[in-house]
Chains A and B, each alone.
Chain A
């Protein structure tokens, strides 16, 4: 049995797609793995590494900044595979707002001040000549909550992930720009394990990585579109048409890894974000410290 930690939030978001699809389609069973998804409560990205340490889970889904923060605090957790490479956050506004520059003086919702969503949106505003002080910032965690703010008129523009950005556009809201216009690619979420546990279970982890790689292949395969769309619908509650739209949006982009491979430069970029937002101080740590590529290599993935 392999206990895989997942935040309750992630379980209902597009970021759970690779593992959820692998589980639904029997890709873990094919590798001889009885995968159990375990949700720690209280949960959240900031608790997932602690769940590795108190033996609640064996491996966990975690956003890269939280892995880096935990490792700098003394954890021996490392990334063993990539789950989501370079997320797309869309800045979506009320229909009458045509350009990012028109947001001056308007209410713009942002996420966690230290997080990558807020960082990328600040950069996007700056690309169009706006500083954060030029807009009225409202901090709202969660894409669904930000979409609600837009719908209820409390926000003029909000960053939204998938599928809510596509839902909003279908409702007549306007897409002003995407995070990827403003920030270089970075590694968003990974599977992490403790070095000590991983070293004792190398074959199990290699088989886990192979199952994950098969899931990424399935997501990309046009012939397998139906089960992937069904998984997105079940995970996020979106309609099949919106789920199709999500897959079209991701096609040809580096949102998802090819086979779970880790681009160490993507972690270095996260560390750079964390340094620029004051979350960690110079000298910034080497990204290789937070990665163990041996299980990917054992699975034949580089």
Chain B
């Protein structure tokens, strides 16, 4: 079987099994869910130069130390990532986005509320066809 077909089949099998198992549930090994030690989550949207949503873009949140979380945008261009450990400052976390055939134009982080604890950080990522 050609490698591309194997990959497509594997991804399909995995996605279907994850959906059947309850979507985002992290399962299989002995897992630990989000805890009180978790910092702010990261969410936002990936758009093209015309402001239209870009689906299946790879969105990466990278901490200054190198630890990274990776997800993909949905059909509305939206993404969401859980928080790193709360000892990590959100200021040290960079959001980037990528998709084959596109290059990253700019990343805009919405300013957090002036008061209170930051629970989520919203960032818009723009891609341009290359």
Chain A positions near chain B (C-beta within 8 angstroms): 7-10, 12-13, 15, 34-47, 49-51, 53-54, 56, 63, 65-66, 70, 73-76, 111-112, 115, 117, 141-145, 161, 189, 196, 237
Contacts and interface: CB of A to CB of B under 8 A. Distances in A.
Nearest to B23: A42
A70 B31 CA distance: 20
B68 A9 contact: no
Contacts of A142: 30-33
Contacts of A70: 10, 14
Nearest to A84: B29
Interface string B12-29: 011001100101111111
Given A36-B68, A50-B14, A75-B6, A42 B24 contact: yes
Interface string B47-77: 0000000000010000000111111000000
Given A8-B26, A8-B69, A13-B29, 17 more contacts: A9-B26, A9-B32, A15-B29, A37-B67, A38-B69, A39-B69, A41-B69, A46-B21, A49-B10, A56-B58, A63-B29, A74-B1, A74-B10, A76-B6, A112-B27, A117-B30, A144-B35
Contacts of B82: 8, 41
Contacts of A40: 69-71
B37 interface: yes
Contacts of B105: none
B85 to A, nearest CB: 9
Give chain B's interface residue range (CB within 8 Å of chain A). 20 to 34
Contacts of B118: none
Given A50-B14, A54-B11, A37 B66 contact: yes
Contacts of A50: 10-11, 14
Contact of A44 (B10, B26, B35, B70): B26
B28 A46 contact: yes
A9 B10 contact: no
Interface of B: 1, 3, 6-7, 9-11, 13-14, 17-18, 21, 23-33, 35, 37, 58, 66-71, 81-82
A48 to B, nearest CB: 9
Nearest to A89: B30
A115 B30 CA distance: 10
Contacts of B10: 49-50, 53, 70, 73-75
B30 A161 contact: yes
A66 B28 contact: yes
Given A39-B70, A53-B7, A75-B6, A44 B28 contact: yes
Given A37-B67, A50-B11, A115 B33 contact: no
Nearest to A194: B3
Contacts of B37: 237
A145 B35 CA distance: 11
B29 A41 contact: no
A161 B30 CA distance: 8
Contacts of B33: 9, 142, 144-145
Contacts of A36: 66-68
26 contacts: A8-B69, A9-B26, A9-B29, A9-B31, A37-B67, A41-B70, A42-B23, A44-B28, A46-B18, A47-B18, A49-B10, A50-B10, A53-B6, A53-B11, A54-B7, A54-B11, A70-B14, A73-B10, A74-B1, A76-B6, A112-B27, A112-B28, A115-B28, A143-B30, A161-B30, A237-B37
